[in-house]
Amino acid sequence: MRPLEPRQRQQSKHLQLLSPPSFPDAAFVLDCAYRLRQERRQKRERATGDEIAYTPLSPLMAAFVRVLGPPNSNFLVGYPGISATLPRIEGKVEIRPKEGVSAPVAISLVSICLQRCETIHPAAELIVKKHLGTPRRETVDIVGKELLLWKCDIGRVSEDVVMMDLPFVLFIPFGRGGQETNRRIPPASLQLPSRTAETRYELVVTVQQGSADQSKFVTPVPIQRYDTLSTFGMYNRPESADMVSDHLITLGISLPRWSYGPLDPVSVYIKLSPNLDHMKKATKVMIQKITMAIEEEITFNHEGDEPTKKVNRIAKQTTPIGVRMPGTGYTTNLGLVFPSKENRDAEGIIRRGKPHFPMYGVNSFTTTGSLYKIEFFLIIKAHMTNTRDIVLRQPIIVCPFDQQACKEEMESIEQAAKDASHVDANNPMLPARTVIKATDRDALKALGFTSVGNQRKILIE
């Protein structure tokens, strides 16, 4: 054999350096690992005698959690604010594997609670104050009590499960509760324009997976209050008030009812009476006009040391009079229509609302939370000459439902009260919970699958 020339020797040396080292093919390694796993699985099946044995891919496989209400209904059962209906939240917590179909999930405990979040930001309406004013303040409270739905056996860190259905009932407090926040009647869900104040509710499911950190899954739940309906008898009793100016003129008003909703008529009977002891001066008074208005008063941090108030005039009507005070007095009836919020856009379409908040017909209503309070007042002002003007401020109730909607709700409230009479708040009857563990014989069947040879296929019965 001829020896290589010097140039050929140099090229051969470079070729040897550039050739890759001999390693097994990646596909060959994966195939060997798969075969080894199958052999171990078959040995375990023969040893235990089970048809199917599950091997978790990871002890901390992520869980898919969702909360469902009763079929064809909402989470909320009953009417919050009306104790006879036992207001409560019913549903079930479903836990499934997040990755794959039948990969087991390690679960240690599952709990659920209703959480209320309140925020206030009085400076949010103005751009300058929004950035330079006080920051947004938020509080989070648990409504009622937290409910433990499931816990693994004593002595075990977790259980490998493939499916969980855990029914639950959370009763909403219907008592005043004094200083205990979690026992008060919760205020209704509400979000003011520019998010100056808001109240929202969430169902929070806490899942503990072994030694890992707890995972929380949030589901929004809108809540309304029904204790301010204008059809209740307590709001249909006449209310009266009076105010005196300079000991000469007395302004008196009478309201036939004092709970109003969107587009409800607000009527008031007004009487201006002279002082009989100063009749000569009183008859010289000229009644120029009478103004009727509705004001919204928002008090931020009303339970704190430095509450701040914001007043918005939402409706106003002025009636010219132009008469001198008669000796027998002056009487009249005034009225206006309570303003409503337009939920349709420019094309006449009602857009889908936010999941945390119901779609109301008003911008706000009478409510009291931990961080803010909303009140409404009917303002009657008599403009006069030869004496000071008289201003009377009478509190009223604003309901998010109009008169017709309140009438329609009364029959449903009565039926809900009858249904609630069969419910025991201390021991509610719940459907049986379903927990399918990875070691159960028909675990795959519960998920709708079966094992054919070494493959898992959809079960067709």
Query: Residue 450: pLDDT above 60?
Result: yes
- pLDDT (0 to 100) of residue 133: 61
Q: What is the pLDDT of residue 340?
A: 93
Q: Is the pTM of this model over 0.85?
A: no
Partner residues linked to 97 by β-bridges: 63
Q: Distance between terminal CA atoms of the chain?
A: 76
Tell which residue, 374, 373, 356, 357, has the closest CA to residue 365: 374
Contact at 8 Å (CB) between 371 and 379? Answer: no
Domain layout of the chain by residue ranges: 27-56, 57-227+423-453, 233-341+353-404
At residue 180, the pLDDT reads: 53
Provide the mean pLDDT of the chain: 83
The tens digit of pLDDT for each residue in 196-219 reads 999 999 999 999 988 877 889 999
* Rounded (5°) CA angle 397-398-404: 115
Equal CATH topology for 57-227+423-453 and 233-341+353-404: yes
The CATH number of domain 233-341+353-404 is 2.60.40.640: yes
Pick the residue with more confidence: 387 or 179? 387
Among the listed residues 398, 356, 401, 368, the one whose alpha carbon sits nearest the alpha carbon of residue 195:
356
119 vs 108: CA distance, rounded Å: 33
At 255, the pLDDT band (50, 70, 90 cuts) reads very high
Query: In the CATH hierarchy, which fold is given to the domain comprising 57-227+423-453?
Result: Immunoglobulin-like (2.60.40)
**What percentage of the chain reaches a pLDDT higher than 70?**
81
Which residue type, as a one-letter code, is found at position 244?
V
pLDDT surpassing 70 at residue 439: yes
Q: Looking at the predicted structure, is the pLDDT value of residue 319 above 60?
A: yes
What is the Cα–Cα distance from 415 to 413, expressed in whole angstroms? 5
Most confident of 53-57, 59-63, 250-254: 250-254
Q: What is the mean pLDDT of residues 268-293?
A: 92
